[in-house]
Amino acid sequence: MTGARPADPPDAELRHSPDSPLWFTSASGVPFSSASGVPFSSVPGVPFSSVPEPKARGALLIAGTTSDAGKSVVVAGICRMLARRGVRVAPFKAQNMSNNSVVTLDGGEIGRAQALQARACGLEPSVRFNPVLLKPGSDRRSQLVVRGRAVDTVGAADYFRHRERLRDVVAAELASLRDEFDVVICEGAGSPAEINLRATDLANMGLARAARLPVVLVGDIDRGGVLAHLFGTVAILEPEDQQLISGFIVNKFRGDVDLLRPGLDQLTALTGRPTLGVLPYAEELWIDAEDSLGTVADAPVGRPRPPIGREWLTVAAIRLPRISNSTDVEALACEPGVAVRWVTEPSRLIDADLVVLPGTKATVSDLEWLRRTGIADALVARAAANRPILGICGGYQMLGRRILDRVESRAGEVAGLGLLDLDIEFADPKILRRAEGHGPHAIPVHGYEIHHGRVQRTTDPPWLTLDGVPEGSARVPVWGTHLHGLLEADEFRRTWLREVAAHAGRTGFTVAADTSVTATRTEQLDLLADLVEKNLDLDHLHRLITQGAPMGLRTLSVTGSNGVQ
């Protein structure tokens, strides 16, 4: 690929305020610069080409007509495609809103989607790829995470007050990534059509305007109305923003694409912008859902594979209102014969072989929800009948006897479910760390912790040993841990599932000997890249990345019955 890199934004739009060290240092306290970036590495599973000097230079923003239009997977697919061709590529999402997060090597916190995109590039996740993260704790307030560290709890008005400093952080990180990497593929947030948020926009057209990024708009045809979504999103924008919208991608298409072509031709005629491609609906792509939109109540997780033995093992994962790190249960869904389903009704717990109480951004509030819905009583009855239950992070805390929370909910002392004998106290700072260790029988485990809660007292036997310290509880068949990602440790997961099946009476269930969550994730990343290579106009994509938005794009205006001018 050839072409020149577009000019960097003017210095005035990449201002860097030196008077706020918290906002301009990494999670480890080391100032960022273009020389202190994440090293480009051949992470296992990335089939890099041997091209010594990739020639592509530039950046691109993938925006969406709606939330969950497919921005994250399109970015991951483009990143993977470029990495396989030997291009030094990095992902970037200026601002994310998600309770699904991971911990980086330097102890920071970023959205899980950006961690997946980093892996697609062959990189370790870094706070540079997602400098601003909002973690909703209620309908009105979110925890604000900047460069990997929680700095405030904000509502809409509070967030406006942080706008300038956040804009500086975003601009500085994008500039440093563009200095270090050949290509940066940016992901928007929500939709640029949310013009009520334009004044504080850091991730969509606000970013594109500041950095002069060409923008490709993704629409989800599976929801219906995609042509109206694409046209309307462009038309509702300010003229200066419209000049950066350079083309469209239609996502999740089922059927014969030739039937769609007349509509795409008309879209081009109306907007003066091409459709770069139509990506098919791919049921195989399900792992690493970005946010709660991927955890639909009463819906299965993944694509259940037939059992190896005579019986299935059924898992009911409780779909909490403020669920976080819902992806923990995806490792179970990778196993043949394990059927995982999100549930919100106590009746769905009765026949399940295993119930998982996952993490939450609002432990006390979601505990109240469990009681209000009757699920708490169902869990107590289940434990009394010696039937398997697993609590992870916030779910683990709920299983204890007592929670003292003066940090998140500020509710003070709250009674837990009493299924494990432990007391939890919430305290600052938030624990953010990767951890390794072993479970029973010295089986290796690994994962990461993101929580305010500390175990103050317990008489339960520990379940794990992490970095030499006992962790979790094992009052079998009730288990609990703060460790996210635990079930991705393949040998541990297999051994534990055998124990769960025995307690559930599923003597006909057989655990596969070779299921690998890492391999499954790698296969899905490569499938994404294959879909991008097969279905998108790569030459046009390359021109946008290297040359920027074309000059003289048509400006649309909405004028009621007169249509487009």
Cβ atoms 156, 141 nearer than 8 A: no
Where do we find the tokens 């929801």? 223
Can you tell me the distance from the alpha carbon of 378 to that of 383, in angstroms, rounded to the nearest whole number? 9
Where do we find the tokens 């400093």? 165
> 558 is written with which tokens?
């909405």
User: Under DSSP, is residue 338 helix (H, G, I), strand (E, B) or coil?
Assistant: strand
Q: Is the peptide bond before 429 cis (omega within 30 degrees of 0)?
A: yes
Can you tell me the distance from the alpha carbon of 356 to that of 313, in angstroms, rounded to the nearest whole number? 13
| Cα–Cα nearest to 273, from 233, 222, 213, 224 | 233
Range list of H helices, 85-155: 112-121
Half-sphere exposure of 27 (CA within 13 A, CB side): 27
Is 334 in the active site? no
Where do we find the tokens 């298409």? 253
Can you tell me the distance from the alpha carbon of 218 to that of 230, in angstroms, rounded to the nearest whole number? 8
Question: For residue 561, how far is the Cα from the chain centroid?
Answer: 41
Cβ atoms 109, 71 nearer than 8 A: no
| Cα–Cα nearest to 7, from 217, 210, 245 | 210
Amino acid sitting at position 206: G
Can you tell me the distance from the alpha carbon of 175 to that of 212, in angstroms, rounded to the nearest whole number? 12
Where do we find the tokens 């890492």? 518
User: Under DSSP, is residue 198 helix (H, G, I), strand (E, B) or coil?
Assistant: helix
Can you tell me the distance from the alpha carbon of 317 to that of 342, in angstroms, rounded to the nearest whole number? 5
Angstrom distances, CA of residue 462 to CA of 42, 450, 459, 478, 482: 37, 19, 9, 12, 12
User: Under DSSP, is residue 514 helix (H, G, I), strand (E, B) or coil?
Assistant: coil
- Which entry of 186, 393, 452, 542 is annotated as an active-site residue? 393
Per DSSP, 322 falls in state T
Where do we find the tokens 């079998």? 476
Is 484 in the active site? yes
Burial class (CB in 10 A: 0-12, 13-18, 19+), 541: buried
Q: Give the contacts of 414 (CB within 8 A, at least 6 positions apart).
A: 364, 367, 402, 403, 404, 405
Task: Tell me the torsion sign for CA atoms 292, 187, 334, 109.
Answer: negative
> 21 is written with which tokens?
């060290």
Cβ atoms 109, 145 nearer than 8 A: yes
Q: Catalytic residue positions? A: 393, 484
